[in-house]
Amino acid sequence: MTTPALEVHKLNQWFEKGTPNENHALKDVELTLQPGEFVTIIGGNGAGKSTLLNSVAGSLQVTQGQIKIAGKDVTYQSVAKRANLISRVFQDPRSGTAPLLTVKENLALALKRGSWRNFWRRGVKRDDLALMKEKLASLNLGLEDRLDTDIGLLSGGQRQAITLLMATINLPELLLLDEHTAALDPATSATVMDLTQQIVSAQHITTLMITHNMQDALKYGTRLIMLDHGRIVVDLPAEKKRGLTIPDLLALFKEQSGEEMNDDAVLLS
Ligand SMILES: Nc1ncnc2c1ncn2[C@@H]1O[C@H](COP(=O)(O)OP(=O)(O)OP(=O)(O)O)[C@@H](O)[C@H]1O
């Protein structure tokens, strides 16, 4: 049997436990991702999406439960310890790249797994350059001709496309996408989402993506989950989500949670 890429077992997260402000943000969450699955996560405001991603990434300490990545128990491992297993792309295109370094230098740093020591010591080899050019050309944004351009001079969409390349160049066990197109205009967001799908499926990268865009949640990925008040209330495989519309999804949410979806961003998308 194949080892799952991600196993979340009975995950509970509380904020300010034992105080009047106690908040039980995740409740007995069970989630298993097989290698290559691309799961989109939607849910209302405060449903627990970020708490789930932060728990998996290690930026939030687990209160109760277990998290395994590629069979390894990482529940109490720091973000740094998990870094060789997980890559994460955030909403802000500025957060994933170093603005004063060139495209080539940023990609070289990613190839050295973010280690400045290896970066300075080993420099950029000819094989690395060939790989960078090939990867950049696959984006179809003409960035293979801009290897010596400072990243800070590129547009948000170009930067986010490069961030995606950097996040996947070493084939992580798990890719976390944290509303990574939300800060882009609709056309650029669509380009970056198409690239995401292309990169993830070509390299069979297991992916968990939070989005407020229901259309994207339906269009992309191989599975869709909906969170509500800290619980997974809907879990749809590809064949079930195919053909669904946003109203279908809203109706499903209401049926499962007993409430209307309360996310303005979702409703407007
Ligand atoms: N650091 C924190 N301290 C206290 N409560 C928190 C903290 N982070 C999140 N929460 C609470 O936990 C619950 C889940 O929040 P979370 O950010 O995971 O939701 P979300 O689904 O990502 O929401 P949104 O889509 O609005 O960003 C919310 O009630 C939120 O207020």
What number is the ipTM of this complex? 0.97
Mutate to test the pocket of ligand 1, among 41, 51, 232, 268 (most ligand atoms within 8 A of CB): 51
CB distance 151 to 101 below 8 Å? yes
Q: What is the pLDDT of residue 73?
A: 98
Q: Is the pLDDT of residue 61 over 60?
A: yes
Measured distance CA(222)–CA(65) in Å, rounded = 26
Domain residue ranges in the chain: 1-85+173-269, 97-171
Q: Is the pLDDT of residue 244 over 70?
A: yes
Mutate to test the pocket of ligand 1, among 12, 14, 15, 24 (most ligand atoms within 8 A of CB): 15
With a pLDDT cut of 90, the percent of the chain lying above it is 81
Q: What mean pLDDT, rounded, does the chain reach? A: 92
Q: What is the pLDDT of residue 257?
A: 85
Residue 212: how many other CB atoms lie within 10 Å: 20
**What is the pTM assigned to this prediction?**
0.93
> Which uninterrupted H or E stretch holds 9?
strand 6-15
* The residue count for the chain: 269
Q: What is the pLDDT of residue 95?
A: 87
Q: Which residue would you say has higher pLDDT here, 95 or 180? A: 180
At residue 107 the predicted structure's pLDDT band, cuts being 50, 70 and 90, is very high
CB within 8 Å of 181: residues ≥ 6 apart: 160, 188, 189, 192, 193, 196, 211, 213, 216
**What does the DSSP assignment read for 100-113?**
TSBHHHHHHHHHTT
Q: Residue 220, class by beta-carbon neighbours within 10 Å (0-12 exposed, 13-18 middle, 19+ buried)?
A: buried
CB within 8 Å of 186: residues ≥ 6 apart: none
What is the CATH class of 1-85+173-269?
A: alpha beta
Q: Is the pLDDT of residue 269 over 70?
A: no
